[in-house]
Amino acid sequence: MTARLIDGKALAQQVRARIADDVARLHADHDVVPGLAAVLVGGDPASKVYVGMKKRASEAAGMHSRVEILPEQTTQEDLEALIVALNEDDAVDGILVQLPLPDHLDPRRVQELIVPAKDVDALNPYTAGRLAIGDPTFLACTPYGILELLAHAGVDAAGANVVIVGRSNLVGRPLSVMLTLKGRDATVTLAHSRTRDLAAVCRSADVVVAAVGVPGLITADMVAPGAVVIDVGTNRTDEGKLVGDVDFEGVSEVASAITPVPGGVGPMTVTMLLQNTLEAARIRRGLPPR
């Protein structure tokens, strides 16, 4: 079998075009332009690249974009003061704090401070708690993008056995919650570094999601024939090449559909940040989310 490619780049373009239309309509009908504020502390090169991507994407969608750059030595107090100011700024609909923060800063306290109405990265524990009890809330961008990719690929999660490898608060754990909510109805196994016989666990899956950070961890012998494989991993090889957690060549021979790296989950993550910012702008003004 040669797997069908689930093209995240193409889907991201489609969804971003629809978001741009919605933003234009929001402006025309309600004189509202959604605003996204990104906070970057220090000069981590990868973080700069990610913030730049988010800025360009939000501007391309017709949103206001603002990047607050704080020096590496910023104190927790100063960072928290900035978050409070952004919470109160009416032109800001979504706030994201680019991770990782320098070691002396406490990301959890910062995330807790972002008002839930502007928590477009969905990392505030309050937002995560609402998700866990099935209340409407912003969805963390990477798992949200994975839901969109699965829907686009025609994968019905209801009743499917989904194995997610990786239990981080950023990807694996929220995705496991989203997929097990009523209405999505998947049966989820959340695997991690202490999982016994990972290969056998993965072979039991209709859908395997790899969110680990180990290049090539998921090999063809770990995937059931016809399974769908979503590769979240973003790893740089010594040669500077971007690779996922899945042995793409081998697994493509077994799976029915697979996301590439790059061009799979990554573009959808930024796209869902835009979607959340649009929703935040609407909800803050009493309009129904799109």
The answer to whether the CB of 34 falls within 8 A of the CB of 64 is: yes
Residue span binding ligand NAP (CB under 6 A) among the ranges 39-47, 71-79, 261-269, 281-289: 261-269
**Does residue 150 bind ligand NAP (CB under 6 A)?**
no
Residue 39 or 171 with smaller CB distance to ligand NAP: 171
Tell whether residue 250 is a contact of ligand NAP (CB under 6 A): no
Task: Collapse the DSSP code of 275 into the 3-class scheme (helix H, G, I; strand E, B; otherwise coil) and give the result.
Answer: helix
Catalytic site positions: 54, 98, 121
Alpha carbon 189 to its chain's center = 19
Residues 159-188 that bind ligand NAP (CB under 6 A): 165-168, 170-172
Under rule CB under 6 A, residue 265 binds ligand NAP:
yes
> How far is 260 from 243, CA to CA, in rounded Å?
9
Question: Can you tell me which of 2, 13, 73, 193 binds ligand NAP, judged by CB under 6 A?
Answer: 193
Helix (H) or strand (E) holding 266: helix 265-284
**Closest CB to ligand NAP among residues 240, 286:** 240
The beta strand positions in the chain, using DSSP E, are 4-5, 35-41, 64-70, 94-97, 161-165, 187-191, 207-210, 228-231, 235-236, 242-243, 257-258
**Which one among 38, 155, 212, 228 touches ligand NAP, defined by CB under 6 A?**
212
Task: Please give the size of the binding site for ligand NAP, defined by CB under 6 A.
Answer: 26
Contact pattern from residue 220 through residue 239 relative to ligand NAP, giving x for each residue in contact according to CB under 6 A and a dash for the rest: ------------xxxx----
Quote the least distance from Cβ 153 to ligand NAP, whole Å.
Answer: 16
Amino acid at 117: A
**Contact present, 88 and 115 (Cβ < 8 Å):** no
Q: From the centroid of its chain, how far is CA 48?
A: 18
Using CB under 6 A, list all residues that contact ligand NAP.
142, 165-168, 170-172, 191-195, 198, 211-214, 217, 232-235, 265-266, 269
